[in-house]
Structure 1
């Protein structure tokens, strides 16, 4: 059903086109009434507005106000003649097309069909969004998560206290470490752990990238960037630059195109980071990690509904965004969990373990 919303004063026009097949003709005195009617109809793409031309400044103001509410609507100006200047003004205000007040029924029917096809193609993505799948945690599993996490938090509260004291005694900083993680349906939440590293650990990550367990063998050594000062007065027209390939320019440095591609390939092959005997980890942190005690605060995440007891491990943002291709995106169509098959069987796998298993 197409809704034909007429804004004007010509009753003959209304009577003439009120019996069009599969068209609901609706009359509105002004755009304020039109907005109210459209809100009640709860439709957006299937609205065709027939606006009878009036005083131009008033028309422009009303059309603009309507467009802010219903930008998807197709607005047609009913007019017999427009100057080129007026046509430009009306077009900029949001008018899509014009028709004559004397248009025939057959011609209007043809125009409505064309508009409907145009709207269907233009806004098809809005309807596709409704078909996007979302994982819904079964009610029985959610009940189990609440009971398990609640009981565990009460039972382990003395352990929490002892761990908190040990962490504070060894190093300054917060007891709980928060990081953004991606969980079920690609929902981002604050992931809780007992802090097992020194407070400035993240700053040292780049220096330790070569010790990554997931770094594949044969990864090329990455050269440093070329700063503007190091390149001196080198001009991009120099033969040396041309012979060696293109140069990519950033705000702070210049890098050969081949080198940039090499870096990107290295990142794509090794998006996951785990370092054996990580020097950033505190002594207390090593004990916590050995027995997975640093994971205990995630019981709070489970109680809140961010995670489940069993499921896929929630990933850091930089790792999750590398799994958003067609082959691995379904990983997020399952609950994020405290433990799962990976934690039980594949914990701390060496560098030669196939990365595709991490994606699964």
Structure 2
């Protein structure tokens, strides 16, 4: 079908996104009756063709993790663009009852765990596509019962972040210039984070490492604070789960070919991308090997030589976090709340024990930062429990108290 040719609206199309070879082979064996399959590399490509060629899309299958960019985030993007409401299916490697509920609540009609069974996909797609009009007319719109930021808190966030952005604009300009002058590469980067109600958004920071930070890792293993003797550390040490994501291939001045982790290999391409300018890389590149590494489970350097001079300063003063004021201003986050998590961490926290943390505002600072930051004795379990405590007890009064406690917590005792 040429770019200038409008599609025949009598032809029904089944759109497939991110189809790996085994998925394509399975779908080609299915009997989708009169429906023709169209394959797309990503959601943007599908949306463009859908609008420009007036495609009669009757169903969509996306091979993606539920919280990844081509999962429920893509479905929400289609809705925001005003594209037709059609059955949206996911084929995912990670699936449990809570993840399935999260997907269904977001509007996904069904999730198949990879490798998907041909007869199940064929049956569900045909039935829902053929009866979608009747099904939609009998389904009442679900009331959104996720956390909504109170008006008072939102007004405070807009006022505080707006004033801070205005007053700190000279600081932004100075830091921007210093970062660019000291080392090549973009001054800012963003990664995808999961915040309130499992909503995914772009999370901004200043870069604080050299452009070849990832290449320096193998030469620094003997300095790892978590490895006894240093010699047993893995040749490509994993990074702590709460380490800044720019320790990865964020700031390379040219595109880098990144080895995919096991989860991404199953999907055929990266499910956890991070972006800087026109470059993207996998945020889970190192973290995926954290548990299986022969040496330390974490990689942490005191006076890390990968960090630039200005990077060391902006980290210890938390100036690298200032771009998140923009996230607050546009409503992605609040000043005070639970820290938003990377996609690969959030998808593991869908049980009742941990899901409560997402029923609270995502924030720049919060309870666990004030209580534990810089003390070096905080376990992941303790951090998650503090997140739940905040979710149960947060209020504007308590938020103000945490803000006043944040400033001394930012000044860490060690350069780590």
TM tier, shorter chain? Answer: 0.3 to 0.5
Q: Report the structure number with the largest CA radius of gyration.
A: 1
Query: Which structure has more helix as a fraction of its residues?
Result: 1
TM-score (norm 2): 0.41
